[in-house]
């Protein structure tokens, strides 16, 4: 069997070599020629998987070590009978950690008191569900907009988009990138939608560039009518630097890049291949992860809670990296020094703060000292 794999999928090397010849290539450089005799492609978001890439390939399976699959032309794959798999939930803990760190930063650096505020969630799937828990634990009321779920589950638990836009103090977007169809998200946040947001509210996008109309957003950032936090951008890696400077916090599409987020993506990818070809790797897990989840002491009070979250992951480090070297957007992603998910830390100390941390990340080990 021949496998072509993106060379920036961590922990993959050595996993499949017993069963296949694996050719590791930079994602943006994987070519039709590389795919000429490949049975499997293991990809990330950086390879456009379409007719042009695969038309002369005998490929049977495409696996993306990500949740997002907008880089894959599913219609073409279906025409050819090529199976594709993604890794739902692989990095949801990572994005929840990113949002926790963001809220801690907003509380400390921007005087944003979470208690009593309204958090608008647009898209409540694998990531959104965990972010909802974080926001609620921080004392916020959460309004959820998710029309596909509302259609399936009934509208009682969900809010329409206008209500979320008008009532929220902070809005976070966690939808897939759909270019068309009933639930299209391309250009979802345009001038009309942005104009409905509360004055001085925050807009966070860690889903995909293309969901916010960047030129429209800029008009609202000039006088901080809206405060923006962007992890994803149009035209990555050549992002709009003027927009970057207007945002309150920025990063280079790394919200899902915790050690755990990446390891889960790799593990699920290997297991997809094992299932498809009936290989003895069906419970394979990435091992020898580079960092242990550390113990974090938590004292009493709001400031101590913020410090504990920052110790798990300090979002400002990623902000500075992008601001100082935006030209290295993709290089920095390739060499990312990751943290563990907050869920993998052990928090010890003040009872009240430990209760909040437990509500944010029920999987974390929490030890009260009192």
Ligand X SMILES: O=C(O)[C@H](O)[C@H](O)COP(=O)(O)O
Ligand Y SMILES: NC(=O)c1ccc[n+]([C@@H]2O[C@H](COP(=O)([O-])OP(=O)(O)OC[C@H]3O[C@@H](n4cnc5c(N)ncnc54)[C@H](O)[C@@H]3O)[C@@H](O)[C@H]2O)c1
Residue 177 contact, options ligand Y, ligand X, none, Cβ 5-8 Å cut-off depending on partner type? ligand Y
Q: Which two tokens stand for residue 368?
A: 């009260």
Given a contact cutoff of 8 angstroms between Cβ atoms, the answer to whether 216 and 190 are in contact is yes
Interaction mask 77-116, ligand X, x per CB under 6 A: --------------x-------------------------
Q: Which residues contact 245 (CB under 8 A, 6 or more apart)?
A: 323
- The Cα 185–Cα 177 span in angstroms is 6
Contacting residues for 41 by C-beta, under 8 A, at least 6 apart: 3, 4, 5, 30, 35, 47, 49, 54, 59, 61, 62, 63
Number of residues that bind ligand Y (CB under 6 A): 32
327 is catalytic: no
The rounded distance, in Å, linking the Cα atoms of 298 and 357 is 10
**Among this protein's residues, is 33 annotated catalytic?**
no
Question: Which is nearer to ligand X, 233 or 347 (by Cβ)?
Answer: 233
Between 73 and 350, name the residue whose CB sits nearer to ligand Y. 73
CB of 69 to ligand Y, least distance (A): 8
Candidates 5, 40, 62, 67: give the one binding ligand Y (CB under 6 A): 67
Give the distance between the most distant pair of CA atoms in the chain. 66
Q: Is-catalytic flag, 110?
A: no
Structure tokens at 101: 């760190």
d(CA 193, CA 201): 13
Q: Which does 237 bind (CB under 5 to 8 A by kind): ligand Y, ligand X, none?
A: none
Partner from ligand X, ligand Y, none contacting 149, C-beta within 5 to 8 A by type: ligand Y
Asked if residue 76 binds ligand Y (CB under 6 A), the reply is no
Q: Which does 44 bind (CB under 5 to 8 A by kind): ligand Y, ligand X, none?
A: ligand X
Q: Are 44 and 82 in contact (CB under 8 A)?
A: no
User: What does the angle CA 55 – CA 59 – CA 65 come to, to the nearest 5 degrees?
Assistant: 110
Q: Tell me the residue number closest to ligand Y, measured at CB.
A: 125
Q: Which string of x and - marks every residue 237-256 that binds ligand X (by CB under 6 A)? A: -------------------x
Which positions lie near ligand X, rule CB under 6 A?
44-46, 66-68, 91, 256-257
């Amino acid at each position: 069997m021949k496998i072509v794999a993106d060379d920036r999928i961590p922990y993959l090397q050595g996993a499949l070599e017993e069963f296949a010849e694996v050719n590791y290539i930079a994602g943006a450089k994987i070519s039709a020629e590389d795919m000429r005799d490949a049975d499997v492609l293991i990809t990330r978001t950086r390879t456009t998987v379409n007719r042009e890439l695969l038309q002369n390939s005998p490929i049977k399976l495409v696996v993306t070590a990500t949740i997002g699959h907008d880089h894959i032309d599913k219609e073409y794959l279906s025409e050819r009978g090529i199976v594709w798999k993604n890794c739902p939930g692989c990095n949801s803990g990572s994005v929840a950690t990113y949002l926790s760190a963001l809220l801690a930063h907003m509380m400390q650096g921007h005087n944003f008191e979470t208690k009593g505020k309204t958090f608008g969630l647009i898209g409540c799937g694998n990531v959104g569900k965990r972010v909802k828990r974080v926001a609620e634990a921080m004392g916020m009321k959460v309004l959820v907009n998710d029309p596909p779920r509302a259609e399936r589950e009934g509208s009682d638990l969900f809010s329409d988009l206008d209500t979320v836009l008008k009532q929220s103090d902070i809005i976070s977007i966690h939808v897939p990138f759909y270019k068309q169809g009933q639930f299209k998200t391309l250009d979802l946040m345009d001038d009309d939608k942005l104009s409905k947001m509360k004055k001085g509210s925050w807009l966070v996008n860690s889903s995909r560039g293309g969901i916010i109309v960047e030129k429209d957003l800029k008009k609202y950032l000039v006088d901080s009518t809206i405060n923006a936090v962007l992890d994803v951008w149009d035209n990555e890696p050549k992002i709009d630097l003027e927009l970057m400077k207007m945002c309150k916090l920025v990063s280079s599409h790394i919200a899902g890049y915790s050690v755990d987020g990446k390891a889960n993506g790799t593990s699920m990818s290997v297991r997809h291949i094992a299932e498809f070809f009936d290989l003895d790797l069906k419970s394979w897990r990435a091992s020898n992860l580079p960092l242990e989840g550390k113990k974090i002491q938590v004292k009493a009070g709001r400031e101590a809670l913020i410090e504990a979250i920052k110790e798990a992951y300090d979002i400002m480090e990623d902000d500075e990296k992008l601001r100082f070297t935006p030209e290295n957007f993709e290089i920095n992603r390739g060499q990312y020094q990751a943290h563990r998910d907050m869920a993998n830390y052990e928090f010890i100390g003040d009872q009240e703060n430990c209760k909040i941390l437990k509500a944010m990340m029920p999987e974390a080990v929490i030890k009260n000292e009192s």
